[in-house]
Structure 1
Amino acid sequence: MKKGEITRKHIIAKAAELFNQKGYSSSSMSDITELTGIKKGGIYRHFASKDEIALEAYSYAGSVVGGKIKDAVNQQETAFGKLLAYLHVYENVVEAPPFIGGCPLLNIATESDDGHPILREKAQLGLEGTLHNMKAIISQGVQSGEFKADLDIDALATFTLSVMEGGVMMSKLEGDNRHIRMNIESFSAYLKGVCLR
């Protein structure tokens, strides 16, 4: 890997941590230079703007978390286990989040809701991708006879993600993992009700 490529990846990784902890709006180029140890001129050699860094940083953070979720999902054999794996990735979100600062999708969606259309679009793509993956798991569960045949796949995917993100938000806000852990327990009980075996 060339030196320029290494530098660019370093900037993206450090900016991803910064934005996910402090937020895009609250982070300055000076924060990025301080965190990376690279002067502004060096940053601008690789990126045209803070927006460009933010988009790359969100993609990076999303890929890190996505990789951890994929690994957790792949360790499960049932659709039940695969859906719960999403929540289990965040069960220690306060002390050991899958990415520093918590859930990148939740953070960017909350911050960019009305104020930053480019980041909002990136968050929407993340939402669509996550729901798509969850729906695929649920569909497999229905086809294999694990879940009830009349299960509303779209509604269950939305419910799964809402339970996960709600638990993450509440646990992060309170500084206590109890919310995500209660949600794991409650969601597990709910899933047992839609399982046929």
Structure 2
Amino acid sequence: MTKGEITRNRIISEAAPLFNKHGFDGCSMQEISVATGLEKASLYGHFATKEELAGEAFRYAWKQSCSARMGNLGDVANSVDKLKLHIENLASKQAFPGGCPLWNTATDTDDGNSVLRSMAKEALRDWISALNQIIEEGQSKGEIGADVDPEGLSTLIISLMEGAFITSQLQESGRVLRVAQQHLNAYIESQVRTRPQANETL
């Protein structure tokens, strides 16, 4: 890796929490200059525009979030248990400094920046797709009921946990995340996990 690439990556990693906490309009290149110790001219030597840097910062923040939320799912074999572990991660692990990059970016760009909003939409599609894959694999292995709608379940998990996260921030309490986790786990055990037929237990 060249010196320029190292500097570019450092700028991204140090700018990402600032954009995530303050939003695109609330984060100035001057703030990033102070955080990185680099002149603004140097920043623009690596990124043509603030929007380009914000896009790379979002990609970085989202990658870190995904690692925290999904990086250990390979530790369990059963697909239902993978879903429950993912929910546990969502309830217990901080996504990224300043909160969930997906939610923050979607909210921040609700009435503006179409490029960042498109990136947030793509990230959501990728998240849903990753959960769909777990569910479909579980169905092929007989661990998850064939009548379960993969995209419907994926969307339910994401929507409930993201909503609970926002509520927990406003209430300054993690209790609502645990309540959401408990309800999702109960639903998954009763409606998603397959149960042995009576003649299979004899």
Size of the aligned set, in residue pairs, is 194
Report sequence identity in percent.
37
Aligned-partner residue type, residue 165 of structure 1: E
Pairs within 5 Å for 1:130-145: 130-145=127-142
Where 1:30 maps in the other structure, the secondary structure is helix
Q: Which stretches of structure 1, 4 residues or longer, exceed 3 Å deviation after superposition?
A: none
Counterpart of 2:123 in structure 1 is 126
Q: Secondary structure at the match of 2:95?
A: coil
SS across alignment from 1:91: helix
Looking at structure 1, the residues matched to 24 and 76 of structure 2 have their Cα atoms a distance apart, in angstroms, of 35
Q: Is the 8 A contact 1:86 1:164 kept in 2?
A: no
Q: 2: CA distance between counterparts of 1:71 and 1:92?
A: 14
Q: Name which of 141, 156, 159 aligns with 1:159.
A: 156
Unaligned runs of 5+ in 2: 196-202
Structure 1 distance, partners of 2:84, 2:105, is 23
Residue type of the alignment partner of 1:109: A
- The DSSP-based 3-state class of the residue aligned with 1:139 is helix
Shift of 1:82: 1.4
Unaligned runs of 5+ in 1: none
Aligned to 2:96: 99
The offset of 1:52, in angstroms, is 0.3
Counterpart residue number, 1:108: 105
Secondary structure of residue in 1 paired with 2:9: helix
Instruction: State the secondary structure of the residue aligned to 2:91.
Output: coil
* TM-fit CA distance, 1:76: 2.0
Give the RMSD, CA atoms, in angstroms: 1.4
Q: Any idea what the Cα deviations from partners look like across 1:44-83, whole Å, max 9, x if unmatched?
A: 1100111000000001111111222332211222222211
Aligned to 1:196: 194
Amino acid at match of 2:96: F
Shift of 1:84: 2.2
- Separation in 2, partners of 1:173, 1:90: 17
Q: Does 1:175 align with 2:168?
A: no
**SS of the residue 2:26 aligns to:** coil
Partner Cα distance (2:78, 2:89) in 1: 17
Counterpart contact for 1:23–1:107, Cα < 8 Å: yes
Tell me the CA shift for residue 42 of structure 1.
0.8
State the alpha-carbon separation in 2 of the partners of residues 13 and 117 from structure 1: 23
Q: Which residue of 1 aligns with 2:199?
A: none
